Structure 1
Amino acid sequence: MKRQTTANRPLAAGLSALLLATVALVPFFPSSPAFALSELKRVPGDAQDVEPVPGETQDEPPAADPEQGVAPLQIPMPDPLVQKPTTDTKDDALDDEPPAAPVEVLSDVSKIPAPVARMRELIVEAAASGDIERLRPLLGKGPTQTQVGDGQDDPIATLKGLSGDGEGVEILAILLDLLSTGFVNIDKGTPDEMYVWPYFAEKPLDSLTPPEKVDLFRLVTAGDYAGMEEFGGYNFYRIGITPDGQWKFFTGGD
């Protein structure tokens, strides 16, 4: 065998040192089996270590913020102090109400009870005379006295006070105008049954036909009508006579 020369010894020593250094850099791992991520030891107290209670569901973890990479902290919103119903019970109750029956306007006085027709005729005759005192026997006395104005003891004095001229002439003209219009029979079949002039007193203004508006403007002015629309209904004078012929009231307002 050929012997190494002295010149080659430094080269062999350098290669040996390099080999030892390379081996020293390789980490030492024990020969143990590899663990899956799910088998790694969890930190004690982690929420994932808590056994779920039977019958209960685990809350879903909050979604991670894609920009920050960290799940945002979610604070629950407080409940409202006043719990409002999901539906408007008042509106539902109104929707359940049946629509109001149409008002039947009457014009043929020959088809009403004779006592009612007779009282109407007597009022017309007294008003057409121009003498307001002729109304006195028709207004009655005591419990059956006709309700007029603010209910003073002397109804004739009350009517004169309501009249623009102070003598009752204007009131007599109004009586004639009212009794020349159509009328209605209200509360039929009850103790409060009444024949009422004019029919506007019981019919909504927004339901009046053009001819009926003409009838109304024979009693009131355009300004009065505008005030009635704002008020919500007819509020001029009206006359009420019971089926037995008693003159029950002659009043204004609602």
Structure 2
Amino acid sequence: MIRSAVFLSAALLATMPCALAAQEKTVPTERIVIDELSKEQPAGDSAAPVPSPDAVTPDATPEAGVEGDADATSEDPKQAAPLPEVRYGTAELPEPVQRMREALIEAAKSGNVEELRTVFEMNELMPTLSFGDITDPIEHLKKASGDGEGREVMAILLEVLEAGWVHVDAGKPSEMYVWPYFAQYPLADLTPPQLVELFRIVTSYDYQEMQTYGTYIFYRVGIGPDGTLHYFVAGD
């Protein structure tokens, strides 16, 4: 019995190094896994979770954000704004506006610049004829006219009132019916037929000067919806 016990003890002692060796072999395996995982994470943030590829959406990419900003800043409100609607004739004009227009045309056709004084006095206030101070409106028109009698200016008034017109600021205190429509229309967008209309009122030299300013700067007429003549003036 004693020999059997001794033999059993010896056998157990012989198998212990094998067991310990087996345990030592598993430790490096666990360390290799930990080291490989740590290599996938950024330095200094080993605790941060690694996102799944399925969790990344296209909207979250930097490229999508950059494209969105570029589209937002590329829009130009001026380019997006529609062109004014050009109208001709008198069918769409309110009756008070039609009456004032006809009164101006009849006075201009008379050849007597004094006839315009009566039309101007139909307003509660004297219409704007200049951006500077004037004492007598008729004398101002005579001086502004190349012939010294006001007839050149009356001819311009006729051409202006026979051109197309636009209705601006509808429903607002600044609502106005404006002749010619070039005063409210971008010069760069004029078509060849519209340029022919423009040259009925101005010369090519005038047009070149307007291109320098980027806008129509010749005579224009503004009549309010109640028939008040607000201005017959040249300039910007």
- The bucket for the TM-score relative to the shorter chain is 0.5 to 0.7
Letter in 1 for 2:119: L
1:81 matched residue in structure 2: none
2:148 matched residue in structure 1: 166
Query: Does 2:100 correspond to 1:119?
Result: yes
2:126 matched residue in structure 1: 145
Query: Does 2:200 correspond to 1:218?
Result: yes
Letter in 1 for 2:178: V
SS of the residue 1:250 aligns to: strand
Rounded to whole Å, the distance in 2 between the matches of 1:93 and 1:157 is 52
Deviations 1:7-27 (A, max 9, x none): xxxxxxxxxxxxxxxxxxxxx
Question: Does the 8 Å contact 2:123/2:228 carry over to 1?
Answer: no
Query: Does 2:60 correspond to 1:108?
Result: no
Instruction: Count residues in correspondence.
Output: 171
Rounded to whole Å, the distance in 1 between the matches of 2:74 and 2:108 is 45
Alignment of 1:175-190 (within 5 A): 175-190=157-172
SS of the residue 2:139 aligns to: helix
Deviations 1:119-149 (A, max 9, x none): 0001000000000000112113896111102
Structure with the larger RCO, 1 or 2 (CA within 8 Å, 6+ apart): 2
Question: Does the 8 Å contact 1:148/1:249 carry over to 2?
Answer: yes
Larger Rg: 1
Rounded to whole Å, the distance in 2 between the matches of 1:96 and 1:171 is 39
Rounded to whole Å, the distance in 2 between the matches of 1:140 and 1:164 is 25
Higher helix proportion, which one?
2
Question: Does the 8 Å contact 1:240/1:249 carry over to 2?
Answer: yes
1:200 matched residue in structure 2: 182
Query: Does 2:72 correspond to 1:95?
Result: no
Question: Does the 8 Å contact 1:130/1:169 carry over to 2?
Answer: yes
Deviations 1:187-231 (A, max 9, x none): 111011000000000001111111111000011111111111111
| Structure 1 gaps, min length 5 | 1-53, 57-88
Q: Please give the TM-score of this superposition, normalised by the length of structure 1.
A: 0.62
- Per-residue deviation at 1:246? 0.6
SS of the residue 2:222 aligns to: strand
Letter in 1 for 2:120: L
SS of the residue 1:185 aligns to: strand
SS of the residue 1:240 aligns to: strand
2:229 matched residue in structure 1: 247
Deviations 1:92-126 (A, max 9, x none): 66736372122100103122100000100010000
SS of the residue 1:174 aligns to: helix
Question: Does the 8 Å contact 1:177/1:219 carry over to 2?
Answer: yes
Question: Does the 8 Å contact 2:109/2:154 carry over to 1?
Answer: yes
SS of the residue 1:122 aligns to: helix
Rounded to whole Å, the distance in 2 between the matches of 1:132 and 1:187 is 31
Q: Please give the TM-score of this superposition, normalised by the length of structure 2.
A: 0.66
2:63 matched residue in structure 1: none
2:209 matched residue in structure 1: 227
Question: Does the 8 Å contact 2:178/2:220 carry over to 1?
Answer: yes
- Per-residue deviation at 1:163? 0.8
Rounded to whole Å, the distance in 2 between the matches of 1:207 and 1:133 is 38
Rounded to whole Å, the distance in 1 between the matches of 2:117 and 2:76 is 48
RMSD (Å), alpha carbons: 2.6
